[in-house]
Chains A and B, each alone.
Chain A
Amino acid sequence: MDKNRHLQRQLDMKRSLLDQGYLDEQFIQLEELQDDDNPDFVEETVTTFYNNSARFLQNIEHTLGDCPIDFPKLDNYMHHFKGSSSSIGATRVKNECTRFIEYCQAANAQGCVRTFLQVKQEHAILKAKLETYFQMAKSRIAAGAPSLCRSKNTSFAEFASYRKYKLFRKSDIVYRYLK
């Protein structure tokens, strides 16, 4: 029961993230890719993304602080960042990136700075939500679901027990385990 509740909460959260547009189809794809060989695939991917994106954000911030602003460079950075955020299905982040690029191409410094704040905000919000999400999986597993995955080090401390999450996809098996 307890496990069911955990599972249900997790599913609900995912549903809400999708509905609210924080995540999209791509995230589902990633989850589908997860299997026994890579039980923590989604978590690892998200971690890789956040590690790299932090660097990009820093670069963009520095470039925005330059005088005069190098718009082509910003455009380049943001394109990379946008591509990266599309990899995990971070829709809102991606949309803000698109707006930023538009301002950049119009050489609108004010617009760029404003939009960049939005990008950072969405980026941080999503990170928090995903952490919670993975935390749920972890707690669900801790609540008693048998660990099916080998332990892997993930950069997110909160994702430590996320490995059990892979059960989530195989709902039949999950329920079986939960019993």
Chain B
Amino acid sequence: MESGFSSPRNDSFPAGLRVLVVDDDPTWLKILEKMLKKCSYEVTTCGLARDALNLLREKKDGYDIVISDVNMPDMDGFKLLEHVGLEMDLPVIMMSVDGETSRVMKGVQHGACDYLLKPIRMKELRNIWQHVFRKKIHEIRDIESHDSFEGIQISRNLSDLSDDGHMFGREDLSSGKKRKDFENKHDDRDFGDNSSTKKHRVVWSVDLHQKFVKAVNQIGFDKVGPKKILDLMNVPWLTRENVASHLQKYRLYLSRLQKESDLKASFGGFKHSDLPLKDPAGSFGLQSSINTNQDDGAKGRYQFSGNNLFGQAVDIKNHEGDLKGIVSEPRPDNKTSLTPDVPDPQETSSTQMSFDHSFALGSEVKYAAFDCSIPAQYSWSETPEINFKQENKPVLQLEDGFSQLPPHAPQHHIQIDPLHSVQSITSGLSLTGRNTSGAIKVEPLYAEYKSAHVSHASPKESAIDMLPVQSKSHIIDNHSFEANSTAISSMKPQGFSLSCITDFESCHRNLISASDSTFAPFNEELTVCWLPGDFHSKNFGLPNFTDYNDPGFISEIPAHLYDALTADYECPFDQTEYTLVDQGLFIA
């Protein structure tokens, strides 16, 4: 028995196959690891889907095949399957104790190469290498069909490898080689007719996918078609077929998000667009920065922007891991009023964007995240209005979870058009919400923010900068809070927008400055600075400043903001130059 297992000690394929096993049951992880080791495979185990995705993203070429359980607590196995398929294009095997036909069919639909039933036998695992081999063969065939030369080359390589028995033993080499070959081809345009006829294995990298999402957003999800996307993407070596198949996967992904967002949207009824979170994210250009990883659900929240964000959302999702710090993973406690977009935080690990936590407000966060993280990426202007509205709501929720507002330095840059700012504001709010406990119920006042805000926003930024100086942590908290309050108070559309923006920015600032994670103050500052008058909310920001340093401030702020709100803060700061430092300002 054991001898049979230990026979493949030589370097021949499939020995050395690098397998990633994902299962929440530690007993099974242990058993599978042992079994795979007996097959002479290199095993890495993972108890959480998120960790698995992070591992896969860190080492793009580090694994040959993924084996995943279907029922996992943090993320659905099918979702993980889609992600892996979209981003890394690795063969994925699903496993489950449930062998119902419908489940198996779902697995295959989502792209699983195989579906194993538990308890899993050793012999089933010994044959998983065939999936890896099959994929490589297909790649070669694709190449051959278009470019016989290359195909020959590749097959020659392969045969050489297999002859040596090193093919898979040196997976890195072969796969890397294949990839390199492909890439070389891309670069050299050796194919000849590369732009339209070359058909090689396309690796949908993060950048490529972002381009794709952007193109889809531009066209409009409903009217999208592979040809249009291809034209917009303007990637010479990509073919229509590549785009078509990727679009199919993407649609599946979106529809799933849509369902989730629908569920989540129940909070705010935000269902803006049918577009899954992806959209919002997409538009913001958050690409990669936004990775609001929050689970897809969160992404759905982004729907708010449905309008244009469409493509982006995808980026966000995919890039969950990518957002460095910017990650606005709004940890929306979901319910966040923002519902529109922010919902995600739940799952998203705060890792990505420090933001997301800070934003906590799910929706808000998202926005904030977007804004923040996307330092200047927002192109939101278009949808922002709509979104903002929704965002506003979430903003209130701020409390949710800002705890983490990581100083989003980039956020300042968010400057984002007024629209964005609104979002940011909301997000900022959400951040503050954390601290402030969401006293602020920012209503979708944003609806109106005009671009005028934008201009204001800029000044704010400077103002914001000031804040960071003050008390980083507090500021942020305060800001966030402020932002919220401003958002709330600014119920007026315009003031709101500005305040939102400012808040947002402040939030960002806070985030950035307040590494402490108490961003609340940040928002305030933002609003304060720039809203020349309109922003009542701005005022909030100011008051916050004073309190920044006082952690307790944040909680106080809400009340204070409320006062401000009611009090009719005519915006103490008419001048955009409102120095944030003036904390004592207005607190209304």
Q: Which residues of A contact B (CB under 8 A)?
A: 25-26, 29-30, 32-33, 35, 38, 41, 44-45, 48-49, 52, 76, 79-80, 82-84, 86-89, 169
Question: Is B18 close to A, CB under 8 A?
Answer: no
Measured between C-beta atoms, what is the minimum distance from A63 to chain B in Å? 15
Whether B119 contacts A87 by the Cβ 8 Å rule is yes
- Chain B positions within 8 Å of A45 at CB level: 27, 30-31
Whether A84 contacts B25 by the Cβ 8 Å rule is yes
Whether B34 contacts A41 by the Cβ 8 Å rule is yes
Q: Jot down 14 A-B pairs with beta carbons below 8 A, ordered by A.
A: A30-B31, A32-B1, A32-B122, A33-B34, A33-B38, A33-B122, A45-B30, A52-B25, A80-B24, A80-B71, A82-B97, A86-B97, A86-B119, A89-B119
Whether A83 contacts B28 by the Cβ 8 Å rule is yes
CA of A48 to CA of B97, assembled, Å: 18
- Chain B positions within 8 Å of A86 at CB level: 97, 118-119
Whether B118 contacts A83 by the Cβ 8 Å rule is yes
- Chain A positions within 8 Å of B30 at CB level: 44-45, 48
- Chain B positions within 8 Å of A32 at CB level: 1-2, 5, 122
Nearest residue, chain B, Cβ from A89: B119
- Candidates A25, A76, A80; contact of B25 at CB < 8 Å: A80
With A82-B97, A83-B28: A29-B121 Cβ-Cβ less than 8 Å: yes
With A48-B27, A52-B27, A86-B97: A76-B2 Cβ-Cβ less than 8 Å: no
Whether B31 contacts A87 by the Cβ 8 Å rule is yes
Question: Is B313 close to A, CB under 8 A?
Answer: no
With A29-B121, A32-B2, A89-B119: A79-B71 Cβ-Cβ less than 8 Å: yes
Question: Is B26 close to A, CB under 8 A?
Answer: yes
With A33-B35, A45-B31: A83-B121 Cβ-Cβ less than 8 Å: no
- Chain A positions within 8 Å of B118 at CB level: 83, 86-87
- Chain B positions within 8 Å of A29 at CB level: 119, 121-122
CA of A30 to CA of B26, assembled, Å: 15
- Chain A positions within 8 Å of B69 at CB level: 83
- Chain B positions within 8 Å of A88 at CB level: 27
Question: Is B96 close to A, CB under 8 A?
Answer: yes
A-facing residues in B62-96 (Cβ within 8 Å): 69, 71, 96
Question: Is B568 close to A, CB under 8 A?
Answer: no
Whether B26 contacts A52 by the Cβ 8 Å rule is yes
Q: Which of B30, B97, B118, B122 has the most CB atoms of chain A within a 10 A radius of its CB?
A: B97
Whether A79 contacts B97 by the Cβ 8 Å rule is yes
Measured between C-beta atoms, what is the minimum distance from B189 to chain A in Å? 50
Question: Is B98 close to A, CB under 8 A?
Answer: yes
Measured between C-beta atoms, what is the minimum distance from B310 to chain A in Å? 32
Whether A76 contacts B1 by the Cβ 8 Å rule is no
Q: Which of A33, A38, A52, A76 has the most CB atoms of chain B within a 10 A radius of its CB?
A: A33
A-facing residues in B1-54 (Cβ within 8 Å): 1-2, 5, 24-28, 30-31, 34-35, 38
CA of A68 to CA of B145, assembled, Å: 61
CA of A145 to CA of B27, assembled, Å: 29
CA of A47 to CA of B26, assembled, Å: 11
- Chain A positions within 8 Å of B5 at CB level: 32-33
Measured between C-beta atoms, what is the minimum distance from B259 to chain A in Å? 16
6 A-B pairs with the lowest CB-CB distances in the bound complex, closest first: A83-B97, A86-B119, A32-B1, A26-B119, A49-B27, A87-B27
- Chain A positions within 8 Å of B1 at CB level: 32, 169
Q: Which of B30, B35, B38, B98 has the most CB atoms of chain A within a 10 A radius of its CB?
A: B30
Measured between C-beta atoms, what is the minimum distance from B26 to chain A in Å? 6
CA of A80 to CA of B97, assembled, Å: 8
Measured between C-beta atoms, what is the minimum distance from B157 to chain A in Å? 35
